[in-house]
Amino acid sequence: MNLVHKYHGVQQLILLTKALAFADKNENPHPDVPILLIEALKVTCPGFDENDIDKHHLTFVEALIIGQYAGYYGNIGDYTRAAEIYERLRRNLNGKCVDSFEKARNYPTVLINYSTILGRAGRRKEALTVVAECELFERSHRRLTELPSLACNRGFNMYMLGETTDSFAYFAQAYYGSSMFSRFGQADIKDTVHDTAYKLFGLTFG
């Protein structure tokens, strides 16, 4: 990496940090958030177009910014736009990453968020397909720490499709898996899983 690229990378990271800090200060999704994210992205992708994500070989930070950008639209309820951006980002990571290590830095998070948005949009079978794709990637690369989140998404979408009996087992996997991995510094989703399972089934874990 030459000095110009290094400078742009640092500048981009600073702008991303400012955008995320601004988003955290506002309780509701603020309309300036996507503007700030695109401002950060265009430091290294000056011709960025969300409809043509596939043409870019994205760095880790660029993919992170696009994921945050898609997440904003999911948070304001524009699930169609969010899903389209996540799908383009998924295709990009599948086709442009030079190796599985590079891909693994963003891929699981993108697919978890993508499946969540599809579920919120009522596209539950599509959500389960994305979950299955991510589960396969995690297991084949021995990256198991995201499996609890995937199990939660799988369980909820199955429940909403009427597969209530079978879905509970996935909530249990999500709860106890998160309990185990959170000891090693991974995201702890136990409370979310516990509360969701209690609302759906009237049952608690313990």
Burial class (CB in 10 A: 0-12, 13-18, 19+), 36: buried
Residue where a domain terminates, one of 109, 143, 177: 143
Residue where a domain terminates, one of 120, 143, 166: 143
Token duo for residue 147: 């499996």
Q: Using CA of residue 17, residue 19, residue 23, residue 25, what is the dihedral sign?
A: positive
Coil/strand/helix, residue 123: coil
91 lies in the same domain as 191: no
CB 106 within 8 A of CB 60: yes
200 lies in the same domain as 187: yes
Instruction: Read off the pTM.
Output: 0.91
**Would you write out the chain's pLDDT as a tens digit for each of its 206 residues?**
555 566 678 899 899 999 999 998 987 899 999 999 999 999 998 888 999 898 888 888 999 999 999 999 999 999 999 999 999 999 999 988 867 888 888 999 999 999 999 999 999 999 999 999 999 999 998 888 899 999 999 999 999 999 999 999 999 999 999 988 876 656 689 999 999 999 999 988 87
Domain of 43: which CATH number?
A: 1.25.40.10
Which residues constitute the domain of residue 176? 145-206
54 lies in the same domain as 90: yes
